[in-house]
Structure 1
Amino acid sequence: MTASRRRFLRFGAAAAAGAALPLCVSAQGRPVLRAGDQKGGLRALLESAGELKGLAYDIQWTEFPAAAPLAEALNAGAVDSGPIGDAPAIFALAAGTPIKIIGANRSDPFGTAVLVRANSPLRTAADLRGRNIGTNRGSIGHFVALKALESAGLKPEDASLRFLPPADAKLALVNGSIDAWATWEPYTALAETSGHARVLVSGRGLWSGLSYLAATDSALAARRELLGDFLQRVVRAQVWSYQHVDSFSAALARIIGIPPEAARLQFERRRTQWRNIDAQVIAEQQRTADFYLKAGLLKQRLDVRTTFDTRFPLPA
């Protein structure tokens, strides 16, 4: 068990115990929304755009390195809401995590990719045969790794998947313990700009680029108005960010603690746009779920229609 995993389990146990008490009101009597985040990206976005001003509630932030521990926190009731990719959402829902998807966005999937060392002899997806690939189980990196193998006519068992959190996978790639690392932004941009790695297979043509804002069933029952306001602020902040690329990229680097060149690269090429949940989004999510079933990673078919809450329309 990794150190980060042990730390999360300690946090989860404490938070689960605290969840028995209502954490919906601050000491000042204001409502509280417990927001999970990945690598500080959502908080940086809202802070930079000024969307954390004028709140009628307080936000209690908890940061996670990836979607899997965030999904565990949602399942434990330790956070009310958080950003999660389409593939991790499927694993969470299939495991019975009591959440709904309330908002959807689409990004250019290039940065969700299979990376290799800069001097690696691997050149195509076919070269992954017999190789060790590090990734988070159930992550969008895991999904892209499987799709990359499929694109080369390979089966999952034709490569060896090693399930590692991002920090461990990065180290394993650098020291040669694994041959490839299937990951996502900002880790892809960090690896590229450091000179340690290059993209072997990008997510374009393999992954939908869909990610979501998820909320627990209990939060939806008790804090629906807060969640609706929070989502609206996220959408407005995203629009603002692409109108202020220079200032936001600099703020992003400072807030999440990565080099400015990596922050700008991952931000600019993602071109994230929030969109209303519609039949197309639901159909694409169903295809992802069906792919995991085909790959043997789900025990039974998941009907994703019931996992979306469409009562959160976005601003025009």
Structure 2
Amino acid sequence: MTIKTRPDYQRRRALGLLSAAALGVFAGAAGAQDKAVLRIGYQKYGTLTLLKGRGTLDQRLAAQGITVKWTEFPAGPVLLEGLNVGSIDFGTVGEAPPIFAQAAGADLVYVANEPPAPRSEAIVAPKDSGLKAVSDLKGKKIALNKGSNVHYLLVRALEKAGLKYSEITPVFLPPADARAAFERGSVDAWVIWDPFLAAAEKQLGARVLADGTGLVSNHQFYLAARPYAERNPEIVRILIEELARVDDWGRAHPKEAAAVLTAQTGLDAATVDLAVERYSYGVKLISPQVVAEQQRIADVFTQLRLIPKPLRIADIVWQPLAASASK
């Protein structure tokens, strides 16, 4: 019996070793692919756009054999969809998109954030509108990008004005479509962020009914696909270092930063200058205070049934020391 079964055992053992070797080669190839290209999703404005324009990250990673691929997205929710399905590895969004993405089961992590910039988002009305205050919005149609940072601004502004979210009609449109609806009068107001906000003010004469001051922080968040961050903590650290450097440069050289952003966005200088005035520089790792702020937003969205279940924000905050230990 031993003589008959030993060749089978040897064949099975050989096949097992070959399979293990093949899996090892595949995993090694996947790891090499991870490190060969860093895919970044960015929006039309902000530190990532400035970093792209400066080219310093591309230069630093090129020395390690890593190519940076940049993809522009019109808004945070669709950017995080790209992150979740694996088309990008890293990106930047406002406060609300990560909450909606987490509620939908996206496998991502908060990595870092910029300081509050509450004046960089606002509720605006057409220049010839009779609307004078947020309290005038009862029964009105308001355009906004569903699940974006301005979604929470609208909720808070209505609450402060004594209105319920159910007392307005949200019209969910991406920025380009929302601007078109705003211009032709299909909506009564628009909740939007920079640089679209600055463009509406400079080009359309839009009037600000309320910005985020005293209502929201309006942090910009950097997020990564969890598998990418766990496999490549050193690249994530390089990203944060380069973001910090370009933040320092932008803070010290606002005119030069505006010139870079003007070239990157294709917007006129006056619009970009206005947006730059309201931007906050200074990237930091996610603090317990910021986690608590995000948790409050998630809880409000749960109460309003904008998301289907309670969330725990701390569950998806990147832990760089833990990531490093797992390497």
Return the TM-score normalized by structure 2.
0.84
Q: 1:33 aligned to 2:33?
A: no
d(CA) in 2 for partners of 1:293, 1:44: 32
Q: Paired residue for 1:149, among 158, 163, 169?
A: 158
Aligned residue for 1:54, secondary structure, equals helix
Mark the structure with the bigger radius of gyration. Answer: 2
Q: Is the 8 A contact 2:48 2:243 kept in 1?
A: no
Structure 2 residue aligned with 1:54: 60
Q: Paired residue for 1:108, among 89, 97, 117?
A: 117
Q: 1:128 aligned to 2:134?
A: no
Q: 1:275 aligned to 2:284?
A: yes
Structure 2 residue aligned with 1:212: 221
Aligned residue for 2:39, secondary structure, equals strand
Which range moved further: 43-52 or 147-156?
43-52
What is the Cα-based RMSD across aligned positions, in Å? 1.8
Distance change in 2, residues 1:286/1:133 (3 Å) = same
Aligned residue for 2:216, secondary structure, equals coil
Gaps of 5+ in 1: 1-20
Structure 1 residue aligned with 2:98: 89
Q: Is the 8 A contact 1:41 1:256 kept in 2?
A: no
Return the TM-score normalized by structure 1.
0.87
Give CA deviations for 1:253-283 in whole Å, capped at 9, x if unaligned: 1111111111111112122322232211111
Structure 2 residue aligned with 1:198: 207
Aligned residue for 2:220, secondary structure, equals strand
Give CA deviations for 1:269-298 in whole Å, capped at 9, x if unaligned: 122322232211111111111111122212
d(CA) in 2 for partners of 1:133, 1:233: 38
Structure 2 residue aligned with 1:292: 301
d(CA) in 2 for partners of 1:112, 1:94: 24
Q: Paired residue for 1:139, among 116, 124, 148?
A: 148
d(CA) in 2 for partners of 1:145, 1:131: 13
Paired letter, 2:60: G
1:42, distance to aligned residue in structure 2 (A): 4.2
**Percent of aligned pairs sharing the same letter:** 35
Gaps of 5+ in 2: 1-28, 322-327
Structure 2 residue aligned with 1:187: 196
Paired letter, 1:117: P
Q: Paired residue for 1:305, among 290, 301, 314?
A: 314
d(CA) in 2 for partners of 1:251, 1:168: 26
Q: Is the 8 A contact 1:166 1:183 kept in 2?
A: yes
d(CA) in 2 for partners of 1:129, 1:302: 30
